[in-house]
Structure 1
């Protein structure tokens, strides 16, 4: 599934140039989603996430299919989405979708900005053999704004915001942006304080547990005490035994648990793989005008549900595990 050479690539950035047509279970194209992209390059937001956030998530899902701005099955859509995102950035503050860093103290605006930073960073990495000066400049400004929103305790307000901000910053760093490990480690510790692992696994917030586990893999300090978050890995193992776990999750939590379980490997990944095949795959529409899409659920509009669903399925071939973990 992932060869030895790819195991050395950065987490979240080991993108393989494979189309969904090469996967037995996943749909090869997303005609409905492509058609719903505006002429300007964006996708409409839903009741919880704005156009910047949804467009960023759609861009991430298409990058995972091997598309960049100049190559791949969705190059035109990727190019339009990337141009639209850069146009939403304030040239002074670097904020994407809002005008000032103070606005990033709100979870909704912070997530939009973090997802946009993440998408731009991944696109830069995918296109690393050809310079994208506008994207690199935008990434630098976006990282500065994101770090400006980091609070004194190292977090970004909420566990969800802190986890996604950390993911975006790691992605930016691996694509070439200067991000200090001090800020990342502070975010990791803040997330650990925010996410409790105590109590009945059935009553834990699976998405937050997965975020904590995932950031523990991605942000490791130089000492043994700062290595992987073993309590979170243990909690992930317990989550996998919760009856009907996958049907009770929302699309975002399914994605996060999939990514975290893939990094954990072993029995955790084996059990997660069963959940993905029995609960996630059947949610993708296989025929008709909605072919390739995931239907709205739990407050997630079609575009956002589809982006998270496609990224969940892409975990099989998109990302490398951190070296030494199997």
Structure 2
């Protein structure tokens, strides 16, 4: 009996050692300690998103509603570390996933009102794919009303590739039929494609290489990145340089001189103001984390202090992109601390 008791105690201690640790300073995720300040901001922000989500699963409290806005909210919920099927946000997760799927055109695969929305919707569905239990997602719905996430991703990828084939620049702009492109929309769609590929959806190398060539052509020697057209009209470039640095990283093209240039630009312009600060921080956080975790860690401490000052009593963040988008983008900049979304992995 004593031997059995001793074995049981050792087994219990082994199991406890595998569980995530919690301390007075922070909670550990994937070997990374997340500070209490970050967890409290995330909890308050996510509670705001849950309270303001519509019954149909979207957010419409300022800014431009649609699949992209819903996708950013969904990404925020998925980044929290809560179980998407049984955790405290699982109802909101299910509503958001079903809403995005409902926006998709069953023939073209197009989601939302622009390729911007489409790109973020691809990204969110790719991050949900494999983690969201689809039997639970469609519980009580008839078979005819169900849409598989994988099926939607494949159709959405096909839509993006068809749009790119008709584009003379090799990227995307707001309309799927556009002949020109810009680095902001192209970044959103490319991140969606890269996430879909990471999730196991077939994405042709040719499509990735073509848009990477577009970003190469839009990058100057000093790492500033143009918005549209050719190498002119740079102006403030922190958002675009961060987007470009990130897509080079995620597509594993750090060998490019343009990657080195954009990485240097991002490092040297971390305090540069942007007309869309929440949007800029969203990409800055990811680009810097992919480039240098030590540099990201130092910048991240400043980000935490800034967002602590800016978060409202109700948990939201206000900005020119609307409350829902500004809140989601701010939370996603913080979510790099958790490192749970597959697209955030190094």
Match of 2:307? 280
TM-score where L is the length of structure 1: 0.77
3-state SS of paired residue (1:229): helix
- Matches of 1:152 and 1:200, distance apart in 2: 22
Match of 2:236? 204
- What's the CA shift for 1:271? 4.0
- Matches of 1:158 and 1:284, distance apart in 2: 31
Selected match of 1:293 from 316, 340, 345:
316
Match of 2:150? 136
Selected match of 1:115 from 113, 117, 120:
120
Describe the shift of the 1:63–1:225 C-alpha distance in structure 2 as closer, same or farther (beyond 3 A). Answer: closer
Match of 1:61? 76
Match of 1:34? 50
Unpaired segments ≥5 residues, structure 1: 1-15, 99-108
Match of 1:102? none
Describe the shift of the 1:314–1:216 C-alpha distance in structure 2 as closer, same or farther (beyond 3 A). Answer: same
- What's the CA shift for 1:176? 1.1
- Matches of 1:200 and 1:116, distance apart in 2: 27
- Matches of 2:71 and 2:182, distance apart in 1: 20
- In the TM superposition, 1:161-310 aligns within 5 A as 161-196=185-220, 198=222, 203-220=235-252, 226=256, 229-240=259-270, 242=271, 245=272, 250-265=277-292, 268-285=295-312, 287=313, 290=314, 292-294=315-317, 296-297=318-319, 299-310=320-331
- What's the CA shift for 1:318? 2.0
- What's the CA shift for 1:226? 5.0
Query: Does the 8 Å contact 1:45/1:53 carry over to 2?
Result: no
- Matches of 1:83 and 1:311, distance apart in 2: 21
Larger radius of gyration between Structure 1 and Structure 2 = 2
Match of 2:18? none
- Matches of 1:233 and 1:321, distance apart in 2: 18
Is residue 154 of structure 2 the alignment partner of residue 154 of structure 1?
A: no
- Matches of 1:75 and 1:21, distance apart in 2: 22
Is residue 335 of structure 2 the alignment partner of residue 314 of structure 1?
A: yes
- Matches of 1:231 and 1:307, distance apart in 2: 29
Q: Can you list the C-alpha shifts for 1:123-175, whole angstroms capped at 9, x where unaligned?
A: 00434898987111111101110111112432111100111111100100011
The worse-fitting range, judged by mean Cα deviation, of 179-188 and 84-93 is 179-188
- Matches of 2:35 and 2:88, distance apart in 1: 13
The worse-fitting range, judged by mean Cα deviation, of 132-141 and 82-91 is 132-141
- What's the CA shift for 1:71? 2.4
3-state SS of paired residue (1:24): helix
- Matches of 1:204 and 1:115, distance apart in 2: 23
- Matches of 1:42 and 1:170, distance apart in 2: 24
Q: Paired residues, what number?
A: 284
- Matches of 2:208 and 2:136, distance apart in 1: 27
Query: Does the 8 Å contact 2:222/2:262 carry over to 1?
Result: no
Query: Does the 8 Å contact 1:197/1:204 carry over to 2?
Result: no
Unpaired segments ≥5 residues, structure 2: 1-28, 138-146, 173-180, 226-233
TM-score where L is the length of structure 2: 0.73
Query: Does the 8 Å contact 1:255/1:308 carry over to 2?
Result: yes
- Matches of 2:34 and 2:292, distance apart in 1: 26
